[in-house]
Structure 1
Amino acid sequence: MDQVKNTFKVPYEHPLKPNPTYKKSVAYFSMEFALDQALKTYSGGLGFLAGSHMKSAFALNQNLIGIGMLWKYGYYDQGRQRDNSMKASFREKMYFFLTDTSIRFQIHIMGKDVWVHAYYLAPEVFNTAPMFFLTTDTEGNDAEARAISYHLYDADAAVKVAQCIVLGAGGARLLDELKYEPKVYHLNEAHSLPAAFYLYQKYQKVPEVKKRLVFTTHTPEEAGNEKHDIQFLDRLGFFAGVPLDTVRKITGIKDSIFSHSLAALRLSRKANGVSKLHGEVARQMWGSYDKICEITHITNSQNKNYWADKYLEMARQESDVEAIATRKKELKATLFKTVADQTGRLFDPNVLTLVWARRFAAYKRADMLTWDAERFLRLMRNEKYPIQIIWAGKPYPKDEGAIQIFNRLHYLSYLHPNMAVLTGYELALSKLLKDGSDVWLNTPIVTREASGTSGMTAAMNASLNCSTYDGWICEFARSGENAFLVPVAEGADVNKQDMDHLFDLLENEVLPTYYDKPDVWKKMVLTSMNDVGEYFDSDRMAAEYYQKLY
């Protein structure tokens, strides 16, 4: 993505005068950042979280910079085929608000020297920490090298590893090119682990690496904690030139399967899970391994200044439940214009609207409500307590199982005028759905969701969470007071129990409260908005990273 060159000075100096509380310099590495609808460098929750972190770093004047990847085709553009099944499209993205730093350097990937080009996002563009984005789609590279930075989370294992090398080793090399030496290298997930090996090459001592490195693990999911054959990684250049014998010695990984997360835990001085429960799960998950660093927890949060509707927030501050209810209907009407545009359905702002919207992954169980066809039909045709349900979210474009669930939900919606499945779940649509939902549905298998922050931003916008007891919900929800909790399943058939409990909850508590006890509903909404408050605002989270990790 070659553009007109702008003036950019090296050595680089942080443009914001740091608050003395946050003066320690930090470089934050992440494979994805959701900073603005206009910048397609994210896929889902990890990106939303990183984006909120960068916004709070800016608001708090923290001495922090972000390092990410400039994805030529983003994640993908979600649309529909002629038969209305999901279509993943890949269109080149152009960003004229980025500054070309003119910084280019080569790193060894896939057996050859690959050019990496750096672009800069100034803080004032989207009110974020200063950001650097790396691309291999630049002059001097062949087609294979250019393609490294085409697709976020490329389906080809070798390309995905190459992306990690660019982010990690390339990001660390960029800092040297900038003559900018941060005190802390924060790896947001293990994607950027090659930075650790770059630092080892630079300092030749593990304590010097550990002194600088901290690590955030985001998932207990097996697929999220990558493992590869160590020879495969070595051939691709993952270890930044560190000999394999040395890699084994400094990571303690002796066999042929190399765990990225385990190596990160052994080369960092401190790590964290992303909720209280996830911290416990992570310590249990990794506790049997020797020589890992301490794992604490810092609960994920979202940037309230970005997400919260200002009129709802003013009404909350005045405890004006009627003003909240009035504004909520206005926001529902706005969302329903998008529903009508995409699906041809006219939804009613007076009807309870339930939304399930997040990344389509098996453990999140998007279609749980449809597993019992008879009970679902009864719910959708309930004349006493009418309901409207909206689904949205992006399956991984190569995950055929998740895409089939998305398509089945869409085709099922043909039978129900009060059911809609939307496409294009990015920041803008996410904001509309948080604004326009009455109930935010969250159905992960318990202990499988590390944090799951979408319900926070829904609560900021007067939507009540209806959720299984997992992730951040354990630190927030009190059933019947500020949320509706699905009882924790016991025994073998967790899916069946969770589904039955969810239907019971909707039929016997959620819908009757909304229609028969509007004063109780309004009180719950106000309590939820107050409780999500400061603790689940990313300003608290960004401050806590300095206090507990940096």
Structure 2
Amino acid sequence: MAFTFNPYAPAAKYKTAAAYFSMEFAIDQPLKTYSGGLGFLAGSHMRSAFELKQNLVGISVLWSFGYYDQGRNPDQTMRADFRRKYYSFLEDTGLVFPITIHGADVHVKVLYLAPEVFGTVPMFFLTTDIEENDYISRTISHHLYDPDAAARVAQSILLGVGGGRLLDLLGRKTDVYHLNEGHGLPLAFYLYEKHGRDLAEVQKRLVFTTHTPELAGNEERPMKLLTDMTFFGTMPEEDVRRVARIENDALNYTLTALRFARKANAVSKVHGTVANEMWSHYEGTCPIIPITNSQNGLYWRDQQLAAALKSKDDTALLARKRELKKELFKIVADQTGNLFDPDVLTIVWARRFAGYKRADLILRHFERFVALAANASRPIQVIWAGKPYPLDQSAIDLFNKIITSTAHLKNCAVLTGYELGLSAALKKGSDIWLNTPRFPREASGTSGMTAAMNASVNLSIADGWIPEFIRDGENGFVITHSDESLPENVKDDQEATALLDVLENKVLPLYYEQPKNFLKVVKTAMKDVEPAFESGRMAREYYELLYKV
């Protein structure tokens, strides 16, 4: 039977037909098609768009081996394992079609995730890992963020051109194409060809979300590689250079997307300022507005904690929080052999492992940290978790350094396997959610939102979404960041001192000596984080501020 696409009737206010292209989606624990925050954000968006009955579809790639499975070597250091994934809950649409990569046909198979499976908008996953393709073509959809440059370009063509062609084959009239980051940029050139090489027609339909002020996160490739790989379809290189305003021998995905889009958004107010400073001086770029990232409450919040907050039952809230800490500590014991105490203040640093996020900032003044950790009257427990990019050796070295430097401390643990399930356990089982990026390099940082939903208090550098949320001492704690003009090592020293000062002089006294006041901070954060940082607000703003002409 032929595949019929007719999922649900959209709500009247969301009839504009939109398609959301993302290289990764964190939808649910069984579906391993994500690496970190970009995927977590996209997954929450798909859930909230479904709850609002928006006329939106999600388009991505089905990664045969996922990102990677994080395991341990015999000495407890990190190991990246790659295992093929199979998903019985994805429906074979029967759709197989060719796209052109490196001048040759590559066949794309389409699988469908129905809304009722995980509570998302309809989603389509593209794969080249099928018998119709040769081995090299099959590997295009093997690994999320393949380290090989040509493979990465091919993956972008698969997402952008494959997704564009899919929508046409489905016969779905699409009013708005939404690129989540620049990975799917070939879509812009596909639309350019489709609409008679009229840039204005593309700009009517294309919108773009930029996520990172990190240069490494704004992909750039040599024009020769892109041309050789058929990144621009049938467009001659001279036309590409003219329309995309290429002035050298490389194409920047973000800058090009900003020139082909009608409007773009940054992912927090701070990031909006940074993104405009980075890009708006270039000729031909579209406006960049802030739409702050957020997370889906229905998926992330613990129902019993939320019910206790609503009923103003402090006893029930504290009892449930203690249960959740004990559940997390079972994972700690299983992985590390350390037995943690649910009555001890528990600090968690957990997110994608990257150098600028500074997982080890709390350890920078190590002797002071050890003295603080050894204080019997005000004890602490600290947990780290996160996935480095598998070829980012400096990030892997940092992960392993934290393991070895804290191995002798019974109140410290480094966990492996940072996916949706562990992420949820860490947020629900922590008292303090630690966030220590170098300002202003954290565009948004949504993990603290879901922590706050689950009675975990943010202790953070005022970067990303934090300035929009935290009122210091009322619903969280701010670590003062240093003058941006200082050398990084000086800033790291100063901010490590500021972190330990806040912990020692504010957080610990409140937790142990004024527990009712600490609970007040917890409850205020739980109340403040929703609806402002719940993804229903974000999904509505996309329609109202980004999709609306």
- Shorter-chain TM-score tier: over 0.9
What is the Cα deviation at residue 488 of structure 1? 2.3
**Structure 1: distance between partners of 2:219 and 2:328:** 38
User: 1:469, 1:486 within 8 Å by CA — same for their partners in 2?
Assistant: yes
Q: 1:387 aligns with which of 374, 380, 385?
A: 380
**Structure 2: distance between partners of 1:454 and 1:320:** 26
The equivalences for 1:455-534 within 5 A come to 455-490=448-483, 491-492=485-486, 493-534=490-531
Q: 2:79 aligns with which of 83, 87, 96?
A: 87
Does 1:377 pair with 2:377? no
1:500 maps to amino acid: T
Q: Who is 1:158 aligned against?
A: 150
Does 1:344 pair with 2:341? no
Q: Who is 1:4 aligned against?
A: none
2:37 maps to amino acid: G
What is the Cα deviation at residue 180 of structure 1? 1.3
**Structure 1: distance between partners of 2:215 and 2:231:** 21
User: 2:280, 2:287 within 8 Å by CA — same for their partners in 1?
Assistant: no
Q: Who is 1:139 aligned against?
A: 131
User: 1:26, 1:185 within 8 Å by CA — same for their partners in 2?
Assistant: yes
Does 1:9 pair with 2:3? yes
**Structure 2: distance between partners of 1:523 and 1:148:** 51
**Structure 2: distance between partners of 1:326 and 1:97:** 36
User: 1:392, 1:422 within 8 Å by CA — same for their partners in 2?
Assistant: yes
**Structure 1: distance between partners of 2:236 and 2:290:** 33
User: 2:308, 2:316 within 8 Å by CA — same for their partners in 1?
Assistant: yes
The SS at the match of 1:337 is: helix
Q: Who is 2:545 aligned against?
A: 548
What is the Cα deviation at residue 261 of structure 1? 0.5
2:221 maps to amino acid: H
**Structure 2: distance between partners of 1:482 and 1:284:** 30
**Structure 2: distance between partners of 1:452 and 1:338:** 24
Percent identity between the aligned chains? 58
The superposition leaves residues 48-71 of structure 1 with CA deviations (integer Å, 9 ceiling, x where unpaired) of 000000000110000000000000
Q: Who is 2:349 aligned against?
A: 356
Q: 2:182 aligns with which of 190, 196, 201?
A: 190
What is the Cα deviation at residue 8 of structure 1? 4.4
**Structure 1: distance between partners of 2:13 and 2:523:** 33
The superposition leaves residues 401-441 of structure 1 with CA deviations (integer Å, 9 ceiling, x where unpaired) of 11111111111232100000000000000000000000000
TM-score by length of 1: 0.97
The superposition leaves residues 166-188 of structure 1 with CA deviations (integer Å, 9 ceiling, x where unpaired) of 00011101111111121000000
Q: State which drifts further: 352-361 or 253-262.
A: 253-262
The superposition leaves residues 330-388 of structure 1 with CA deviations (integer Å, 9 ceiling, x where unpaired) of 10001111111111111000000000000000100011111212112112211121000
**Structure 2: distance between partners of 1:111 and 1:212:** 27
The SS at the match of 1:549 is: helix
The SS at the match of 1:228 is: strand
1:316 maps to amino acid: L
TM-score by length of 2: 0.98
User: 1:319, 1:526 within 8 Å by CA — same for their partners in 2?
Assistant: no
**Structure 2: distance between partners of 1:392 and 1:322:** 30
User: 1:321, 1:523 within 8 Å by CA — same for their partners in 2?
Assistant: no
Q: Who is 2:410 aligned against?
A: 417
1:547 maps to amino acid: E
Q: 2:399 aligns with which of 378, 398, 406?
A: 406
The SS at the match of 2:384 is: strand
**Structure 1: distance between partners of 2:314 and 2:233:** 58
What is the Cα deviation at residue 321 of structure 1? 2.7
User: 2:435, 2:459 within 8 Å by CA — same for their partners in 1?
Assistant: yes
User: 2:3, 2:94 within 8 Å by CA — same for their partners in 1?
Assistant: no
The SS at the match of 1:296 is: strand
The superposition leaves residues 20-67 of structure 1 with CA deviations (integer Å, 9 ceiling, x where unpaired) of 111100010000000000000100000000000000011000000000
**Structure 1: distance between partners of 2:330 and 2:110:** 40
**Structure 1: distance between partners of 2:353 and 2:93:** 37
Q: State which drifts further: 321-330 or 49-58.
A: 321-330
Question: Gaps (5+ residues) in structure 2?
Answer: none
**Structure 2: distance between partners of 1:253 and 1:495:** 38
**Structure 1: distance between partners of 2:430 and 2:366:** 24
What is the Cα deviation at residue 111 of structure 1? 3.0
What is the Cα deviation at residue 140 of structure 1? 1.7
Q: 2:277 aligns with which of 276, 279, 284?
A: 284
The SS at the match of 2:92 is: strand
Q: Who is 1:37 aligned against?
A: 29
What is the Cα deviation at residue 259 of structure 1? 0.8
**Structure 1: distance between partners of 2:233 and 2:179:** 16
1:9 maps to amino acid: F
Question: Gaps (5+ residues) in structure 1?
Answer: 1-6
Does 1:255 pair with 2:252? no
Q: Who is 1:101 aligned against?
A: 93
Q: Who is 1:120 aligned against?
A: 112
Does 1:238 pair with 2:231? yes
The equivalences for 1:208-227 within 5 A come to 208-227=201-220
The SS at the match of 2:298 is: helix
2:532 maps to amino acid: Y
**Structure 2: distance between partners of 1:317 and 1:8:** 48
Q: Who is 2:532 aligned against?
A: 535
**Structure 1: distance between partners of 2:442 and 2:538:** 18
**Structure 2: distance between partners of 1:115 and 1:52:** 30
**Structure 2: distance between partners of 1:430 and 1:460:** 13
User: 1:193, 1:264 within 8 Å by CA — same for their partners in 2?
Assistant: yes
The equivalences for 1:276-355 within 5 A come to 276-355=269-348
What is the Cα deviation at residue 448 of structure 1? 0.2
What is the Cα deviation at residue 142 of structure 1? 1.0
Q: Who is 1:3 aligned against?
A: none
Q: Who is 1:23 aligned against?
A: 15
Q: Who is 2:102 aligned against?
A: 110
What is the Cα deviation at residue 110 of structure 1? 2.2
The SS at the match of 1:417 is: coil
Q: 2:164 aligns with which of 172, 187, 191?
A: 172
The SS at the match of 2:407 is: helix
